[in-house]
């Protein structure tokens, strides 16, 4: 239900203690807070109120060129430092998150419309990921390989790739930026970071501020703000970076990959998803509904790994729909800065319009609203739809909203076929009291990640994270991201004289 309380007024983000002395209306290049060279700006919008709460620069091609040039010049000296010196900076930045925790929680609510639950989840993700990244500086050594040639020693040495370009999205901006920035720096790389224009603060400028205070030398982290179509294109289509890390839509990801490949940079992409939550007839419905509620409605469903489709066996379908709808009706919608709010606003009008159109077109095709379905401003009630088929718009597309389409299936093979009837393959979940059966279903689904007797929203800093198909290329976290942010060098030593055939 909608919270009838008065929405809080937009707060002055410049007054937050995390704010740089120069203000948020600057970007960060070579350790300095500066305006864009052409003085263009774009507003920061509070999705709860629709008010502009500030503005950030729109970086030009010249600004991006300068950021990459500075990063390229600063990187060799950073890579040459002992790992403990690099790691100490990342560790200090992590400590500062706790120091500024209250202001960060407020900023999550203002800039993203994030509830306090979501904000705390994201901050924990960042802390854990940074902690794992700190260890990478000591684990990036290569090793030795036996040789087929007598008297030869083979050394496999890992080295940083150099400069990493990072383009991050608005939904989990603090985490999805930092999961590339922190390991890149710990491993001896430098970074040019371009956050989403809808999350320029948490996705970029806050991170610059944390590392500035943590003592990161100038030039190693440069943050350029602006639109994706302009600044983002400059960042992805540049000759300097060796890796382009992008998280966002599949459509934009294809263009980013094309840009990166043209410059022989490695594209590391985490893209869209159409994730299923499969509930068999022998599932524990308490656990399945709990997982379905959390996986569909956390952060308004604005997560690439949110549940997009609930596939439920026909024998328990009616009960599942009834129980999920009851849970959805209990959730409170309103100002995310209020402690008791479960669901905040959609990030912007275009996202809101797209979600509503998918729901309304599916209703016209026969879907039935069991809970929610009302809209107010940028808010959408948690909505449960029954009588959905797998080809309806709300099921066939990534809806990215607080929407739970529930689709019946008759047997495991039908569930598997429906689950795989998509170009995406990011996350998923399966509920059954028969773990062997659940594992067989999980093994048959084409996805990078799947969780048994849980839900789709899982990310652990020490476990590889990523998808298949249109959900991306490569993996984040731990050894997987270390592989992408370092390159191997083969050094051989011929210790004994070698006989040659010529």
Calculate mean pLDDT across residues 249-273: 97
Per-residue confidence (pLDDT) for residue 12, from 0 to 100 = 83
Q: Are strands 41-45 and 52-57 parallel, antiparallel or unpaired?
A: antiparallel
Angstrom distance (rounded) from CA 305 to CA 303: 5
Per-residue confidence (pLDDT) for residue 7, from 0 to 100 = 52
Is residue 143 within 8 Å of 156, Cβ to Cβ? yes
Q: What is the pLDDT of residues 122-135, one digit of tens each?
A: 999 999 999 999 99
Calculate mean pLDDT across residues 351-356: 97
Nearest to 478 by CA among 466, 492, 496: 466
pLDDT band at 139 (very low <50, low <70, confident <90, very high): confident
Angstrom distance (rounded) from CA 372 to CA 8: 24
Q: Which two tokens stand for residue 314?
A: 């026909």
Q: Which two tokens stand for residue 469?
A: 């198909």
Calculate mean pLDDT across residues 214-230: 96
**pLDDT at residue 5 above 60?**
no
Q: What is the pLDDT of residues 229-259, one digit of tens each?
A: 999 999 999 999 999 999 999 999 999 999 9
Q: What is the pLDDT of residues 455-479, one digit of tens each?
A: 999 999 999 999 999 999 999 999 9
Q: What percent of the chain has pLDDT over 70?
A: 98
Structural domains in the chain, CATH included, are: 13-271+471-488 (3.40.605.10), 275-452 (3.40.309.10)
Calculate mean pLDDT across residues 342-365: 97
Ramachandran region, residue 406 (left: φ > 0; alpha: ψ -120 to 50; beta: rest): beta
pTM of the full predicted structure? 0.96
Name the residues annotated as catalytic: 270, 304
Q: What is the pLDDT of residues 19-77, one digit of tens each?
A: 999 999 999 999 999 999 999 999 999 999 999 999 999 999 999 999 999 999 999 99
Per-residue confidence (pLDDT) for residue 142, from 0 to 100 = 76
Of all residues in the chain, what percent are helix, strand and coil, respectively (each to 5)?
Answer: 40, 20, 40
Angstrom distance (rounded) from CA 177 to CA 170: 10
Return the SS3 of 293.
Answer: helix
**pLDDT at residue 3 above 90?**
no
Per-residue confidence (pLDDT) for residue 429, from 0 to 100 = 98
**pLDDT at residue 8 above 80?**
no
Which residues have CB under 8 Å from 450's CB, separation 6+?
A: 427, 428, 429, 430, 442
């Amino acid at each position: 239900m909608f919270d009838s309380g008065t929405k809080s007024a937009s707060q002055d983000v410049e007054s937050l203690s995390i704010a740089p002395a120069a203000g948020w209306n600057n970007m960060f290049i070579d350790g300095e807070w500066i305006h864009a060279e052409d003085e263009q700006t774009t507003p920061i919008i509070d999705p709860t109120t629709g008010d502009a709460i500030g503005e950030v620069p729109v970086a030009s091609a010249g600004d991006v060129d300068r950021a990459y040039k500075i990063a390229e010049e600063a990187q060799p000296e950073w890579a040459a430092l002992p790992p403990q010196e690099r790691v100490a900076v990342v560790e200090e930045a992590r400590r500062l998150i706790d120091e500024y925790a209250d202001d960060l929680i407020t900023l999550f609510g203002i800039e993203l419309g994030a509830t306090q639950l979501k904000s705390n989840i994201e901050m924990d993700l960042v802390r854990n990921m940074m902690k794992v990244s700190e260890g990478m500086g000591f684990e990036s050594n290569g090793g030795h390989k036996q040789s087929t040639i007598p008297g030869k020693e083979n050394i496999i040495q890992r080295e940083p790739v150099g400069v990493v370009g990072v383009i991050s999205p608005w939904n989990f901006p603090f985490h999805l930026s930092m999961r590339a920035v922190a390991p890149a720096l710990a491993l001896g790389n430098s970074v040019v970071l371009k956050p989403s224009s809808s999350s320029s603060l948490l996705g970029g400028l806050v991170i610059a501020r944390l590392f500035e205070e943590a003592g990161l030398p100038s030039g190693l982290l440069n943050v350029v703000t602006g639109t994706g179509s302009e600044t983002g294109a400059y960042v992805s289509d540049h000759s300097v970076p060796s890796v382009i890390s992008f998280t966002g839509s599949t459509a934009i990801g294809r263009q980013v990959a094309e840009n990166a490949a043209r410059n022989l940079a490695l594209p590391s992409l985490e893209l869209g998803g159409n994730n299923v939550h499969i509930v068999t007839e022998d599932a524990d419905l308490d656990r399945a509904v709990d997982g379905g509620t959390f996986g569909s409605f956390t952060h308004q469903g604005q997560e690439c790994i949110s549940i997009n489709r609930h596939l439920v066996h026909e024998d328990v379908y009616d009960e599942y729909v009834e129980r999920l709808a009851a849970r959805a009706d209990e959730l409170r919608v309103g100002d995310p800065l209020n402690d008791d709010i479960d669901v905040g606003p959609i990030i912007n009008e275009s996202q809101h319009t797209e979600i509503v159109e998918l729901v309304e077109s599916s209703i016209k095709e026969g879907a039935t609203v069991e809970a929610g379905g009302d809209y107010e401003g940028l808010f959408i009630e948690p909505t449960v739809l029954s009588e959905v088929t797998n080809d309806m718009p709300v099921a066939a597309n990534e809806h990215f909203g607080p929407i739970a389409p529930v689709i019946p299936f008759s047997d495991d093979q039908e569930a598997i076929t429906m689950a795989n009837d998509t170009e995406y393959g990011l996350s998923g979940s399966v509920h059954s009291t028969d773990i062997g059966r659940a594992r067989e279903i999980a093994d048959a689904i084409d996805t990078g990640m799947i969780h048994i007797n849980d839900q789709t929203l899982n990310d652990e800093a020490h476990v590889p994270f990523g998808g298949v198909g249109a959900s991306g290329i490569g993996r984040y976290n731990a050894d997987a991201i270390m592989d992408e942010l370092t390159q191997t060098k083969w050094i051989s030593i011929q210790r004994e004289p070698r006989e040659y055939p010529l």
